[in-house]
Structure 1
Amino acid sequence: MPDNNERDELHRAIWSIADDLRGSVDGWDFKSYVLGTMFYRYISENLTNYINDGEHAAGTTDFDYALLSDEQAEEARASLVEEKGFFMLPSELFCNVCKDAVENENLNEKLEQVFHHIENSAKGSEAESNFAGLFDDFDVNSNKLGATVARRNEKLVKLLNGVANMKLGDYKDHHIDAFGDAYEYLMAMYASGAGKSGGEFFTPADVSELLTRLGTVGKTEVNKVYDPACGSGSLLLKTEKVLGRDRVRQGYFGQEINITTYNLCRINMFLH
């Protein structure tokens, strides 16, 4: 089945990255680096595809935003922030940072700058709260990555290349929730060894859907959805799937005490 093939391939890719970083990054921290890098790749490709599709539809079939100069791209900043909620310069896209990563002696500083710019691009817009602090768990200067800048950058290169090699395709075309599944797999790999609570586990999609169907029996629409311990947002998102986007009138509300899990929930809600 497609679901199993995609899931197995994703798990193999994550295991490969974990193998490369073995002995340096604790598993509990490792998941933040993987998920943060996956999100960075996603929003880079999401923005690029959005711009390219518009240009191609207008007749410029050979246009590629990733090849544009930063100066040319700046002209569209205001409109893109209004339309997409954020902005990224071509030089700061995931594909371009990856391309130069091996030769970049300041890769850690480059990534820190990129994440800072992404968050700042949303300031003053309706999407500001969606991006604020999203990369807080991605510490590019942590000693856990290495004792020296060179060692840290070596690990960051492996991390970027590992995520670049993941065959994620278009997020909306996937049969699995790539981010949620990656989180669940990382929890299973590391939670017990790190001495963390089993309560941190991502709720499997099938369980979330069953709970949602039980909670909405006899209902065709609801006023709002609330989860007091929302984790990565799986249960909230399943409500949209079960009832339909227009059937939750006033939106989705959740609380989560773990800041890392809270940020994953925000990423999931943002993507959906």
Structure 2
Amino acid sequence: MDNQEYNSIVSFIWGIADDCLRDVYVRGKYRDVILPMTVIRRLDAMLEGTKEAVLTMKKQLEAAKIDNQWPALCNAAGQAFCNASPFLLKDLTSRSKKQTLEADFKAYLDGFSPNVQEILDKFKFRDQIKTMVDADILGAVIDKFTSSDINLSPNPVYKDAEKKIVKLPGLDNHGMGTIFEELIRRFNEENNEEAGEHWTPRDVVELMADLAFYPVEDQIKDATYSCYDGACGTGGMLTVAQARLLTLAKRRGKNVSIHLFGQEINPETYAICKADMLLKVCCCECTQYDGR
């Protein structure tokens, strides 16, 4: 996927805010809806192909009276996360009554596995549902994110039944992470009071990674490494460090893996970081620092 296609997706998502949220939210609060909805739609798109398998597994687990169902359900989904509700996001677009849409959307959110629940809680996304329902925009937001004009799925969308002509290319994890980071950057620029507080320019981050790794490049071995950031913000330094280490190891013919660990005190920034890591499917553990 080239930069034009990336920019097209970012612009489409950015336009959802202007189309649906204007006059309901002040501009600085658009991110409270757009960022979590972007995460939700990406996860939803990745789970579409295994939805029936997850629901079948859930029935089997309930019949066997298994309490901790999440490991088996995530395994059935083929991901580090899953959704055990009976819905896909696109199923909710047919709801005509606000009350029905609200109840089904909440049930849909409640169906996500605990790692996604933590992200939604830190975003405080459920606090936005009543505002959107009262303003009658929840359905419009869901319609926009499930539109055929945008593809946040890893699988391409085809124009023909034979699947020979691609309408919209698939979006891999790295590409989704890039789009998510661009949305974060734009929102931070919109909110001047936050500009630079949780975002470090990518060229600065890459320079820091170079300064950390190049002096010890000749010491890289076939091994598993850990990388820790005690104030990880949105996680950019961790992922850039991972990419740089893997590049240097490959150059030297070494086989390495890297585990990322980060702490962040700001709840929303922590949610952004964990969501970005989950979207990229990194081996990462993020914790929220409690200040002690």
**TM-score normalised according to structure 1 size:** 0.72
3-state secondary structure, aligned to 2:240: helix
1:191-235 deviation per Cα after TM superposition (whole angstroms, max 9, x unaligned): 12xxx3323343344443332222211333684212222111111
Bigger mean CA offset, 175-184 vs 217-226 = 217-226
1:264 aligns with 2:257: no
The amino acid that maps onto 2:239 is: L
The residue that corresponds to 2:94 in the other structure is 100
Structure 1 contact 227–254 (Cα < 8 Å) conserved: yes
Q: Is the 8 A contact 1:33 1:138 kept in 2?
A: no
Deviation at 1:150, TM superposition (A): 4.1
CA deviations on 1:137-186 (whole Å, 9 max, x unpaired) are: 2444548835xx442xx221222222223333424166461211111122
The more displaced of 223-232 and 252-261 is 223-232
Residue 266 of structure 1: CA displacement? 0.6
Partner of 2:180: 179
1:197 is aligned with what amino acid? Answer: E
Between the aligned partners of 1:259 and 1:96, the Cα distance in structure 2 is: 30
Q: How many residues align?
A: 236
The 5 Å alignment of 1:162-241 reads 162-165=144-147, 166-170=150-154, 171-172=171-172, 175=175, 177-188=178-189, 190-192=190-192, 196-217=193-214, 218-219=216-217, 220=220, 223-241=225-243
Deviation, 1:263, is 0.6
Larger Rg belongs to: 2
Distance 1:32 1:150 in 2: 16
Instruction: Report what 1:159 is aligned to.
Output: 141
Call closer, same or farther: CA 1:10–1:140 in 2, change over 3 Å: same
Equivalent position SS for 1:133:
helix
Determine the C-alpha separation between the residues in 2 that align with 1:215 and 1:236: 12
- Aligned-residue offset at 1:104: 4.9
Q: Give ranges in structure 2 of 5+ residues lacking alignment.
A: 62-68, 155-170, 248-254, 281-292
Task: Please tell me the root mean square deviation across aligned C-alpha atoms, in Å.
Answer: 3.1
TM-score, scaled to structure 2: 0.68
Is contact 2:85-2:107 (8 Å) kept? no
CA contact (8 A) 1:229 1:256 kept: yes
- 3-state DSSP class of the match of 1:252? strand
Give, in whole Å, the separation in 1 of the partners of 2:153 and 2:129. Answer: 33
Query: What's the counterpart of residue 27 of structure 1?
Result: 27
CA distance in structure 1 between the partners assigned to 2:27 and 2:207 by the alignment: 30
Equivalent-residue separation in structure 2 for 1:144 and 1:30 (angstroms): 15
- Asked if structure 2 preserves the Cα contact closer than 8 Å seen for 1:208 and 1:235, the reply is yes
What letter is aligned with 2:268?
T
2:110 is matched with which residue: 116, 120, 140? 116
Paired residues of 1:228 and 1:254 also in contact (CA < 8 A): yes
SS at match of 1:244: helix
Q: Which has the higher strand share?
A: 2
